[in-house]
Amino acid sequence: MKRRSDQHRDRLDAHVFVCTNDREEHDCCAGADGEAVATAIKQWLRDRDAFWTAVSVSTTDCLGLCSADGAALTIQPRNEWYSDVRPEDVPELLAAEFGPEADQTGAGPTSAPADD
Ligand code: FES
């Protein structure tokens, strides 16, 4: 076992986890375009040279914010949580979190919307 926290903390400012969980019995992010949301996030970051440099992105199982209206995601270590995210929401969400040019990735949310 290797503890690599210092190495990763030095490299990354944030990690976005996007739910792509698929299931039959309840609403799920796979059925609400979770993969498309993850792809849109990666592309937005790539366009600003921030993907896998300042911010990494991973898909994950259920985050407990299930909805038929959009995917759930969390941004760590900020402890920020979103649900009902549609692919078209991604530019506004990421600009609010990381700045329009993704040049504030280590700063915390810059203009995140208020909680519902
Ligand atoms: S299925 Fe995505 S948060 Fe539960």
Residue 43 CB burial class (10 angstroms; 0-12, 13-18, ≥19):
middle
Q: Is 104 among the domain residues? A: no
Structural domain containing residue 50 = 5-97
pLDDT tens track, the chain, 116 positions: 999 999 888 889 999 999 999 999 999 999 999 999 999 999 999 999 999 989 999 999 999 999 999 999 999 999 999 999 999 999 999 999 999 999 999 877 777 778 87
Contact assessment for residue 71 and residue 85, using Cβ atoms and an 8 Å cutoff: yes
Q: Is 112 among the domain residues? A: no
Distance 1 CA to ligand 1 centre (A): 30
Query: Pick from 68, 77, 66: which is nearest to 106 by CA?
Result: 77
Q: Is 86 among the domain residues? A: yes
Distance 23 CA to ligand 1 centre (A): 9
Query: Pick from 58, 56, 10, 7: which is nearest to 34 by CA?
Result: 58
Ligand 1, from 19, 25, 69: best to mutate by most atoms within 8 Å of Cβ? 19
Give the CB-side neighbour count of residue 116, counting CA atoms within 13 A: 4
pLDDT for the residue 31: 95
Q: What is the pTM of this model?
A: 0.93
Q: How many domains does the chain have?
A: 1
